Amino acid sequence: MKKGKTSFFCRNCGYESPKWLGKCPACNEWNAFIEEDIGGPEGDAGFSALQLNEKPLSIDAIEADERERITTNVMELDRVLGGGIVQGSAVLVGGDPGIGKSTLLLQVLQKLAEQDRNVLYVSGEESARQIKLRGRRIGAGSKNLMVLVETALENILQHLSDLKPEVAVIDSVQTVYSSILGSAPGSVGQVRETAGKLILFAKKTGISIFLVGHVTKDGAIAGPKVLEHMVDTVLYFEGDSGHAYRIVRGIKNRFGPSNEIGVFEMRDCGLAEVANPSAFFLSDRPDSASGSAVVPSMEGTRPILVEIQALVSPSTLGMPRRTSIGVDSSRVSLLVAVLDRICGMHLSSHDIFLNVAGGIRVDEPAVDLGIVAAMASSFLNRPIYPGTVVFGEVGLTGEVRGIAQMLLRTREASRMGFTRCILPRTLSQEIPDPEGLELCRVGSLGELLEQLF
């Protein structure tokens, strides 16, 4: 029997090499190469059938309208997608097992089916009976919602051609395999082959396709990294089993703003939208407790009020502990050094624990002032006035620097009933005082401590 062609692929980025390498020259990952079949000359036959065969056009002659988007009536998801689903787009959805990816997408298909749109849910992990039971729990029972249990790529493409749905979900792309390749489903070659053909099919026919992707233990989508470059939009489903909320975060979006988030709450009947995330994350905030500060953080185009908690206590160890959850630990170490040097708070012999309440993660410089305020409040054991919000970037010399979108942050604080806002003096002189909100402008950490305590 003639031996098939094989090649070596990097499991991290998909780099191809004719021989095994210890270190990937593309992503510098060690011991990531695996050998897989690449098929024979007939391997290009499937792609030739999906060629677009279009001619070059002048850009001013191309007709395009934003109204061509398909609204899902799930407002939080529409926000992340940039206003709805673009026809012919490919969306990659990743997240931990059991986080709610399949539940949310089944709810979205039900909303679309209620608009008399034909939709298709393709599952390679569950039986039709299991999907029916989950659909009954979340209220999905429309006759326009078709369910297909299949893992063979050729059969899936044939059903898509016959049914011509407007939106299709492939759950998950790691279970789909092509008969052209001899490797197992979920391998680098199979994921790249099947995803490539599905994306080409979507561009040719105008069917919008959602690809569900498994994630590795590091939180990245399993398979070659090139998969994220092939699709139009990449969504990550974030959440913690200890919290009821779930966040859909847009990492990449060719048709709208990236880093936008949608907030959902996990309930018995599925995922419910959270229309007011600020109230959701501040619902359990304690009153008059030291070490607590509220910061308006920008998530995409939306300001969200989050609570930063700090616990500073004398250490009995030779090397004090530094633990931060939800913020960058390197940034926290920098701010601790600034407090020690500039403000005279000797924290070198103290354990410092920092947490963003609710499990959300914030990574913008605007939360620096909130981190400093929370640590100073815990160190001095003096609570911050409950109606105060703080935001701003802190420099190495103790100065408070201006940040972007301060007007949106102050409006959100005013809407949530806060009465006092401490913000940078730089770039804030032209911001009017919102109704019921006093603006206190500071230029250094010394001024901040005077305003707080």
Q: Which two tokens stand for residue 369?
A: 């002032």
Q: Does domain 280-452 have CATH number 3.30.420.40?
A: no
pTM of the model: 0.78
Asked if residue 108 lies in contact with residue 165, where contact means CB atoms within 8 angstroms, the answer is: no
Structure confidence at residue 241 as a pLDDT band (50, 70, 90): low
The position carrying tokens 């270190």 is: 23
Q: Return the pLDDT at 155.
A: 94
Q: Which two tokens stand for residue 404?
A: 């972007």
The percentage of the chain sitting over the pLDDT mark of 90, rounded to a whole number, equals 40
DSSP letters along 183-199, please?
SPTTSHHHHHHHHHHHH
- DSSP one-letter code for 309: E
pLDDT, greater one: 364 or 244: 364
Average pLDDT, stretch 130-141? 91
Q: Return the pLDDT at 68.
A: 73
Q: Return the pLDDT at 353.
A: 94
Do 70-275 and 280-452 show the same overall fold? no
Backbone angles phi, psi at 229, to 5 degrees: -80, -25
Number of helices (H), then strands (E), in the chain: 12, 21
Structure confidence at residue 53 as a pLDDT band (50, 70, 90): low
* 3-state class percentages of the chain: helix first, strand second, coil last, to nearest 5: 30, 30, 45
Q: Return the pLDDT at 222.
A: 56
Range with the lowest mean pLDDT among 61-65, 91-95, 346-350, 391-395?
61-65
Q: Return the pLDDT at 128.
A: 92
Peptide bond before 172: cis, by omega within 30 degrees of 0?
yes
For the chain, give every domain's residue range: 1-38, 70-275, 280-452
Cα 4 from Cα 18, distance rounded (Å): 14
Cα 25 from Cα 17, distance rounded (Å): 10
Structure confidence at residue 34 as a pLDDT band (50, 70, 90): confident
Digit-coded pLDDT (tens) for 155-198? 999 999 999 999 999 988 889 988 887 777 877 778 888 998 99
Q: Return the pLDDT at 192.
A: 83
Average pLDDT, stretch 19-40? 81
Cα distances from 5 to residues 42, 44, 95, 192, in angstroms, run: 12, 14, 34, 17
- The CA R_g of the chain, rounded to the nearest whole Å, is 26
Q: Which two tokens stand for residue 24?
A: 């990937």
Q: Return the pLDDT at 230.
A: 86
Average pLDDT, stretch 129-152? 92
Asked if residue 78 lies in contact with residue 273, where contact means CB atoms within 8 angstroms, the answer is: no
Summary mean pLDDT of the chain? 85
Whether the predicted pLDDT of 379 surpasses 70: yes
Structure confidence at residue 1 as a pLDDT band (50, 70, 90): very low
The percentage of the chain sitting over the pLDDT mark of 70, rounded to a whole number, equals 91
Structure confidence at residue 44 as a pLDDT band (50, 70, 90): very low
What does DSSP say about strands 33-37 and 6-10: parallel, antiparallel, or unpaired?
Answer: antiparallel
Whether the predicted pLDDT of 253 surpasses 70: yes
Cα 211 from Cα 195, distance rounded (Å): 8
Domain 70-275 in CATH: superfamily?
P-loop containing nucleotide triphosphate hydrolases (3.40.50.300)
Direct distance between the N- and C-terminal alpha carbons of the chain, in angstroms, rounded to an integer:
82
Digit-coded pLDDT (tens) for 417-447? 899 999 998 877 778 877 888 899 999 999 9
How many CA atoms within 13 Å lie on the side-chain side of 13? 12
Asked if residue 122 lies in contact with residue 150, where contact means CB atoms within 8 angstroms, the answer is: yes
